[in-house]
Amino acid sequence: MHILVTGAAGFIGTHVLAELLARGHEVRALDSLRPDVHRDGSPWQVVRGVEALIGDVRDRELVARAVKGVDAVIHLAAKVGLGVDIADMPDYASSNDVGTAELLVGMAEEGVSRLTLASSMVVYGEGFATCPEHGAVRPAPRRARDLAAGHFEPPCPHCGRPLASGLVGEDTPADPRNAYATSKLAQEFYAANWARATGGSVAMMRYHNVYGPGMPRDTPYAGVASIFTSALRRGEAPKVFEDGNQRRDFIHVGDIAAATVLACERHGEGVGAYNVGSGTPRTVGEMALALSRALGGPAPVVTGQYRLGDVRHITADSSRLRRELGWHPRVSFEKGMAEFAGLHPRTDAAPQAAGAGMKRAMTGGA
């Protein structure tokens, strides 16, 4: 197929391009090279054979050129991050939602009927959990005063008791709890509207916590693995928010790229949402500890700090993706962490034991 990839110069985009080329597709790449992502100002090193366009998906004339003659679109371009600052709302709405709407208009006018959309697990908010008294419930929003007091677990909305969290499936009702999450859900709704109106197909890929080679450092786009690694490279202990027991599903970028390309190739009818995660929940503290050990750096420090827009636990049930598209993750957490650490070695200090202090802090509560 001839495939347009938006956001092609980004972290996930470069891996998707490589996967597409390895599978024999013809690729057109579009990226705005926005400075908050590409801070070093280095030129875009476009792979030979890839047609590259520089510009914004909100530019209707550019989008018309970009979609002309392609068979499918993989839409990765977006402003990412947490979106806790109210002042960031207009940029999320414009970059993500207006940008997606303009792309969909261009696809409709050109007759391009196949879309793979990069969405996110953040659309679920806190997902769902189980109360010993009330059964399956949607966790109540966490309050600033509870977080400040070290009470990090979201309570039952009915009785206030602690909850046991579970894996979220694609049918879990959406509950976006920050500006970024809201913009990602809006992208999904726009894409579904477009599919119904045009007869097109859309695969909405709800990525979980992505890490791996090429992850940006020290930018609003850096993931937690990159933030921890940057600290360790400076000889500093990674600082873990809350009590370190927040559960996430860390997924290697190579597995994300493979899932995305498979969806582009195989999902050709209707609207479908797919969780993309390893299926093995890990805590943020476990990730910090794995990186500290791999880099021979200082043990992580649990700070008790929090961000009100963060969710406590969000982990995926990715069985639909495995069942319907034949995908499965190839990179284990252990292998991925070792690889990631190997890309960013510490050379300023001899290896030292890491983990005892972190273990005490995590088991002692917060």
List pLDDT tens digits, range 158-213. Answer: 998 888 888 889 999 898 988 999 999 999 999 999 999 999 999 999 999 898 88
Residue 269 neighbours by CB distance under 10 Å: 11
pLDDT digit string (tens) for 283-322?
Answer: 999 999 999 998 889 999 999 999 887 888 888 899 999 9
pLDDT at 222: 59
The model carries a pTM of 0.86
Cβ neighbours of residue 145 under 8 Å, at least 6 residues apart? none
Q: Name the β-bridge partners of 5.
A: 29, 74
Q: Which of 154, 147, 185 is nearest to 304 (CA)?
A: 147
Nearest to 312 by CA among 126, 140, 141: 126
CB of 251 closer than 8 Å to CB of 121: no
Strand ranges, E, within 76-226: 114-120, 129-131, 135-137, 164-165, 201-207, 209-211
| Candidate from 80-89, 243-252, 347-356 with smallest mean pLDDT | 347-356
